[in-house]
Amino acid sequence: MSLHCDIELPPAGAQENVATSYPTVFNWEYKVRREELMRLYEKGKTAQWNASSDIDWSIDVDPQRVRIENIEAFDAVLQQPQKLDVDTRRRMKHHMDSWMLSQFMHGEQGALLATSQLVNAVPWTEGKFYAANQVADEARHVEVYRRYLTEKMGLSYPVNPHLHTLLSQIIGESRWDMIYLGMQIMVEGLALAAFGLMRFTQPDEPLIQQITSYVMRDEARHVAFGVLSLQDLYTHEMSSTELKEREEFVIEATVLMRDRLLMAEVWERIGLDPKVWMPWSLTTPFMVGFRQILFSKIVPNLKRLGLLTPRVREKFRALDILDYEGLPDSTSEEETTIPPALINFFFKLQAAGVKIPGLGGTGPH
């Protein structure tokens, strides 16, 4: 099924100006100081893909497909606050997927703008090289999600207010390392985990599987780029006062990213009471597991950067995401690890009669 629609605009309209004050740095030495960044740059050059020709856009997508035989099992496990008829469930799936993909697209535009700033602001030649390469990646990601939303989903959402606040803060930063920290570590670290979850939970949608696999391959490099670029600066060069400012930003960004997952826009759009469904978003096992996996890359990366300070630990413990500090950080370029809590939840679904492709029959370990 092919649907065509325009991207829905936020109340402020199609364009928004954000004042920026970051410095522009020439490097006349052209000396390469970080070989690991050059290796990422070389990998990025060879891993380019074309969103027009490498994606099979002829694949049919039914954005409201829900397996009727799974509805009762899902209701039993998810413990939704209201029983939904089949038509409402289909619309709910369509809107939730469109909301998530819309936020991916908006976040990718934020990454496009932020990374273009890094070309100017980062002082190292190899950092400028890789940032320039990433600009092309981010443009391609915006392109592919715009096309999927307008041609396949036929539905989109404006940027979430919490995501908008965070992106505006990052774009308006004057310190290049804060642009790295906000975009490469926080926003893209969360996105990498969300992509991994989408690929895991939508095995029957071959087009989104193609798109997600390509985008995840890029994003794994991008997050590693951020970690490698910041680790010496944060662990050896910055004063305690400067690190405290970064610590405060990490806490604020984490709360903003958590709060955007309430999806109030979705409930209102499909006629469900946000006062009923927003608390469910916070407490249902699926949404708890969903939030956990979204932070499963951020936490170990912050630990490597020395930013998992006592105050950050206290906040992460309250959000129940501190357990992920033992996972590999992104310098290993491993794909997203599914948190044990989420694996247990998928096995619970399977035990209730919902077939979850990719899970074995032996239960969680």
Q: Classify residue 30: in a domain, yes or no.
A: no
Q: Classify residue 324: in a domain, yes or no.
A: yes
Range of the domain at 113: 64-351
C-alpha 119/C-alpha 136 separation (Å) is: 12
Task: Taking residues 15-40, report their average pLDDT.
Answer: 89
Q: How far is CA 135 from the centre of its chain?
A: 17
The three-point CA angle 292-297-300 to 5° equals 105
C-alpha 316/C-alpha 88 separation (Å) is: 35
pLDDT on residue 364 = 42
Q: Classify residue 9: in a domain, yes or no.
A: no
C-alpha 149/C-alpha 245 separation (Å) is: 38
pLDDT on residue 89 = 85
Say if residue 78 is exposed, middle or buried (CB neighbours under 10 Å; 0-12, 13-18, 19+).
Answer: middle
Q: Classify residue 283: in a domain, yes or no.
A: yes
Residue 92 one-letter amino acid: M
Q: What is the CATH number of the domain that holds 342?
A: 1.20.1260.10
Q: Classify residue 333: in a domain, yes or no.
A: yes
Look at residues 334, 130, 328 and name the one whose alpha carbon lies nearest to residue 220: 334
* Comparison of pLDDT for 86 and 356, the residue scoring more: 86
Task: Taking residues 145-151, report their average pLDDT.
Answer: 97
Q: How many CA atoms lie within 13 A of 3 on its CB side?
A: 18
C-alpha 286/C-alpha 79 separation (Å) is: 10
Mean of all residue pLDDT scores within the chain: 86
C-alpha 271/C-alpha 214 separation (Å) is: 35
Look at residues 339, 334, 329 and name the one whose alpha carbon lies nearest to residue 302: 329
Which residue is it, tokens 């249902």?
A: 284
Query: For residue range 175-218, what is the model confidence (pLDDT) as tens digits?
Result: 999 999 999 999 999 888 888 778 777 778 999 999 999 999 99
pLDDT on residue 22 = 79
Phi, psi dihedral angles at 109 (to 5 degrees)? -65, -40
Q: How many CA atoms lie within 13 A of 31 on its CB side?
A: 2
pLDDT higher than threshold 50 for residue 362: no
Q: Classify residue 53: in a domain, yes or no.
A: no
DSSP code of 149?
I
State the DSSP string of 269-319: HTT--HHHHHHHHHHSHHHHHHHHHHTTTHHHHHHHTT---HHHHHHHHHT
Q: Classify residue 167: in a domain, yes or no.
A: yes
Residue 114 one-letter amino acid: A
Q: Classify residue 358: in a domain, yes or no.
A: no
| Per-residue pLDDT band at 365 (split at 50, 70, 90) | very low
pLDDT on residue 348 = 66
Its sign, for the CA torsion 198, 203, 207, 212, is positive
Query: For residue range 336-352, what is the model confidence (pLDDT) as tens digits?
Result: 555 555 666 667 666 76
Which percentage of the chain shows pLDDT scores above 70?
A: 87
Q: Which two three-digit tokens encode residue 218?
A: 């890029």
Alpha-helical runs (H) found in the chain: 35-46, 68-78, 86-121, 125-147, 161-171, 176-179, 188-201, 206-232, 240-259, 264-269, 274-283, 285-294, 298-304, 310-318, 340-351
Query: For residue range 276-332, what is the model confidence (pLDDT) as tens digits?
Result: 888 888 777 777 777 777 888 899 999 999 999 999 999 999 888 898 898 888 887
Our count of domains for the chain comes to 1
